[in-house]
Amino acid sequence: MTAARDIMTPAPRCVGENETLVEAARLMASLDVGALPICGEDDRLKGMLTDRDIVVKCVAQGGDPGATTAGSLAEGKPVTIGADDDVSEALEMMKKHQVRRLPVIDGHELVGIISQADVALSLAPQQAGETVAEISE
């Protein structure tokens, strides 16, 4: 069995729920990523924030990214996978919820992120292609 922890990108950086979208965007730029986990003051995962969220849910609506917090864009309970869960479960979660990045949790601690790229690198080419296509529907 291949576990989620075997294919995840470890030690993800978080944006704090009270940090502004400008701060989040700067962190994304410095890390060269398009998404960040949103972590609460209790160090628990509150959601995921993408560069697209910043543009569509704030800037395009006339919002002020310097005054809008990352936590204000966290919607609902985040979709996650356990670190020791089988990769097949992670793939099913990604397909079911149409998410391209899946936070990996060990207990209540965020320990990694599984992305489409991680999936593509860990599977046989045909299976990777099918999985990425289903996630992107």
Q: Considering only residues 22 and 135, tell me which one the structure prediction assigns the higher pLDDT.
A: 22
Distance between CA atoms of residues 22 and 91, nearest Å: 32
Q: Considering only residues 74 and 15, tell me which one the structure prediction assigns the higher pLDDT.
A: 15
Question: What's the CATH class of domain 4-135?
Answer: alpha beta
| Res 119: pLDDT | 78
Task: Work out the angle at residue 105's Cα, subtended by the Cα atoms of residues 51 and 47, and round it to the nearest 5 degrees.
Answer: 30
Distance between CA atoms of residues 88 and 86, nearest Å: 5
Per-domain residue ranges for the chain? 4-135
| Res 117: pLDDT | 80
Q: What is the mean pLDDT of the chain?
A: 89
User: What's this model's pTM, rounded to 2 decimal places?
Assistant: 0.85
- What's the one-letter identity of residue 16? G
59-66 long-range contacts (CB < 8 A, ≥24 apart) are 65/20, 65/21, 65/22, 65/25, 66/20, 66/21, 66/22
Task: Work out the angle at residue 31's Cα, subtended by the Cα atoms of residues 52 and 98, and round it to the nearest 5 degrees.
Answer: 40
pLDDT at 100 over 70: yes
User: Rounded to an integer, what is the distance from CA 67 to the centroid of its chain?
Assistant: 23
Q: What is the pLDDT of residues 111-123, one digit of tens each?
A: 999 988 887 777 6
| Res 14: pLDDT | 94
pLDDT at 132 over 70: no
